[in-house]
Structure 1
């Protein structure tokens, strides 16, 4: 079942075409990975879905209604957002940052309620961060910061979360923790996710974990391929899009489970 539908969407900056006639469905309890080179329009597409940018043509449907008809506060009850990075200007406590996700549910001059606080603490519990709730936000590591951003999105209690390169700048362990957390949220809370990424193995990780995974290869202003990771993330597509030679491999884990991944070999000369 589709929870969000993008139909023939195009966006221009003046005479500069960013993407053209893009269409896809986001399915319930699934993940849709946007994959492609720098500057191909992944972040711009996410901003169009969030309502921050207005497409030049096409439509975005949420529950069969155009996103353009939703007021920002109403849209925030349907779609959460985890940015690629976040500037930490003030030493708010972690709990204060997370509870900001309840802004759409509180009045302009109202303080968060006891229920809002309980929801925020529950989100921190879900992500294993409750021990940090009173820590100054400015003292967190990059991985902890991204998890807090995800906790803030969870407090919105939305069925959809958009993520713009959520593992950017993270070390190997924290990258894996973020991916494991995404899998957990989809399986346990039936959340649907759109995630922009530069790493093809993110899509394979979700597929290997039993998640309903679709990936779109975004390049030259369009989706050049769309489907499951094995269909889209091929050695031929990596050569055509990134000019690199790669090898798609399959391996068995100690539990005799087959997992797939893409290994870069060398840049094409």
Structure 2
């Protein structure tokens, strides 16, 4: 495994001193060129963990480290130059064109009251082209569909040019075709050396990416490892509290998805 770009060390979190724990004793790491998929049901604590990674929430105990530096000691700008974030969705009160939204990813490199350079604009345009949304560049972000907005947010993270990208259920609003494109982009970003953390409640996405998986249930990790080792039927039944049936890709000769048994 390569150099650990992102480390989560003994992290626990609760909303208030007397509140119930939301995350307990989380230990994870992500290397350069690696994808870590954090898999769990709704309410498992995935989005809270993402907020801790971004420095938006401070852990009760433990720490998050970027290339050895404690996130709690970094400024917002220093964090933004190291981690790009793709949220589940985004709203804006301003009628920005899609191209402008992507260009905002360059703001962490421009600083102050500086204006984007021709290089910044080219990087943003290249990101839109890679995602396949260059034709949307003059459309208003507020007028795009939920799936189109999500692709714009992925392009913005790419334009930010950070070593780490954190994605909170990045394909939740995408149709099957765009899910495939987004997962392909995630795979290619990792191959280019990016460290990717993505949350999802769909194990088939981890199978498609052939990545490392962390299972999160009620704020605790129940397993971490290669997808084929971790996502076996018994573990999935326990994780989701349901009886699931596994589907196998006969051509590839491997497990590819789970479907729930109807009550």
Task: Please name the residue that 1:228 is paired with.
Answer: 226
Q: Does residue 197 of the first structure (1) align with residue 200 of the second (2)?
A: yes
SS in 2 for 1:244: coil
C-alpha distance in 2, partners of 1:266/1:175? 24
C-alpha distance in 1, partners of 2:257/2:133? 32
Note the C-alpha offset of 1:8.
0.4
C-alpha distance in 1, partners of 2:198/2:51? 12
Q: TM-score, normalised by structure 2?
A: 0.93
| Unmatched runs of 5 consecutive residues or more in structure 2 | none
Q: Does residue 251 of the first structure (1) align with residue 217 of the second (2)?
A: no
Q: Deviations over 1:60-107 (max 9, x none)?
A: 111111111211111111100000011143321111111111111123
Task: Please name the residue that 2:89 is paired with.
Answer: 85
Displaced runs of 4+ in structure 1, greater than 6 A? Answer: none
Match of 1:96 among 68, 82, 100: 100
SS in 1 for 2:27: strand
Task: Please name the residue that 2:217 is paired with.
Answer: 219
SS in 1 for 2:216: strand
Task: Please name the residue that 2:129 is paired with.
Answer: 125
SS in 2 for 1:167: coil
Note the C-alpha offset of 1:134.
1.8
Task: Please name the residue that 1:6 is paired with.
Answer: 8
* Root mean square deviation of aligned Cα: 1.6
Note the C-alpha offset of 1:263.
2.4
SS in 1 for 2:243: strand
SS in 2 for 1:123: helix
Task: Please name the residue that 1:23 is paired with.
Answer: 27
Q: Which moved more, 1:157-166 or 1:177-186?
A: 177-186
Note the C-alpha offset of 1:232.
1.6
| Unmatched runs of 5 consecutive residues or more in structure 1 | 208-212
Note the C-alpha offset of 1:259.
4.1
Count of residue correspondences = 259
Note the C-alpha offset of 1:127.
1.5
Task: Please name the residue that 1:210 is paired with.
Answer: none
